[in-house]
Structure 1
Amino acid sequence: MQSLGHLLLDLLALLCWHARLLQANMLAAGLAASNLVLYAFVYTPLKQVHPVNTWVGAVVGAIPPLLGWAAASGQISLNGLILPAALYFWQIPHFMALAYLCRDDYAAGGYRMFSLADASGRRTAAVAFRNCLYLIPLGFIAYDWGVASGWFCVESSVITLAISAAAFSFYRDRTTQKARRMFHASLLYLPVFMSGLLFHRLSDNPQCLAENPNRIIELPSFPEAVTESEEDDQKKKVRYVTAVPQRRAPVAYASIAPFPFLPVPSYVDQ
């Protein structure tokens, strides 16, 4: 009976997931399916096979915001890679701190973490510090690409230097206390980074729209079923949108649906 209950719950979850995908697009559906496969059949088995599981897990953790971007806009732009990049590089020092603090527990559980082959912790700390440094350019990239204002550069640099300082301190003095301090710094970094990206996002910038028409990564288009509500008779009908080439503005300035890190949508077909 318990197995039957689990099966029914799985079927219900799949039906709900499929229903939601019908309201998005094939690109978002593909990202969701690939992330599910990557997590369940690559990342999870790798935990007991090879330390590279941490980097694979970082990819898994970076895909969800990209999925949301694709669901809102139907495409992937370079602007949409800023938050996934932050999530990817942030996860490395975050989990390196955990791998060092819980290395005995990981060893007892049979998990092959990077810290298990690094008795001194030197390489673990070096990897954490290096990936903290990779976070520094993201604020400037967000400003250069017109996603956020100059204030975000300042805030992003400050919080990135703070987590980098904690990682460097751990590198110089590889103790449980320093590792825990780096872990706490990583917990503060992500909400502060995302809040700054939200509060300092830029509104529509026509000049940037005209100067940067090629920031969209071209991907295959698919016919989509689009449901529309009729105001007169409240009936719904389905029409199929043919995949035709069309010019779209960068997603950061013009999207189909609101997204926490985007300005008010102002999408206009040309």
Structure 2
Amino acid sequence: MHRRSFLGWTLALMATLPGAALVAAPPTSKVILLATTTSTQDSGLLDALIPRFEQQTGFVVKTIAVGSGQAIAMGKKGEADVLLVHSPEAEKALVAEGSGVNRRLVMHNDFILLGPATDPAGIRRRPAAAALQAIGTGSALFISRGDNSGTHAQEKKLWKAAGLDPEGKAWYQQTGLGMGQTLSVASEKRAYTLSDRGTYLALRKKLGLEILGEGDASLLNVYHVIEVNPARFSKVNAAGARAFADFLVSKDAQAVIKDFGIGTFGSPLFFPDAGKPE
């Protein structure tokens, strides 16, 4: 197991133990606690970015890869130093309440609707809302992350746009897991699901799923970096958080993001956006 994946797994496990509390690094520490999404981890992007940052700065990044909702909740409690997430409404609420500062645009990719090649609900090339209507009215199996992640938040918006409430329906199952694991479940059950493109491309050789829906404006997936507010949480490593956030929007990191995935998949998994207007 990769060292960084192991650290993230260990810290996530510690958080589940009775009485355990994750505490951000002290201000003078060279250790930075990054709370981020499973998509940045599962796609391999962090493995391309973090060693470069550590070599340049001397900081050491410990990663906890969870859903954006969980990462933002950590930020609200001062249990991380910096966040890299993709749930815009929740991000704005975090900053508005004063727990996060300096929210900056980093990159985007998009969400895609996946399913078996047989496409029993006939959603191929339909707009996202119409595709979900076809899945729901036909009772085809849909696998949701169900974990309050950015992907889950987007999925709920799409169901609302489709005029459907899937909660409690027999054809709607929630894993409570990250993106990679949810894709594996959907593949095993020959079901539909919503994914970010990067994670799917990184794992598709192991999956029996095809892209059946893509390209809608409603499927845009935008990532921001947010520093946890040191004025509210005294143990936050403010210097480390600022250094990592500055790195993500630097020309160097943006060039890595621009090229990431091209050699392996023939196309980038993410698109750099630093400095662009929202």
Length-normalised TM-score, structure 2? 0.27
Normalized per residue, the structure richer in helix is 1
Normalized per residue, the structure richer in strand is 2
Length-normalised TM-score, structure 1? 0.27
Which of 1 and 2 has greater Rg?
1
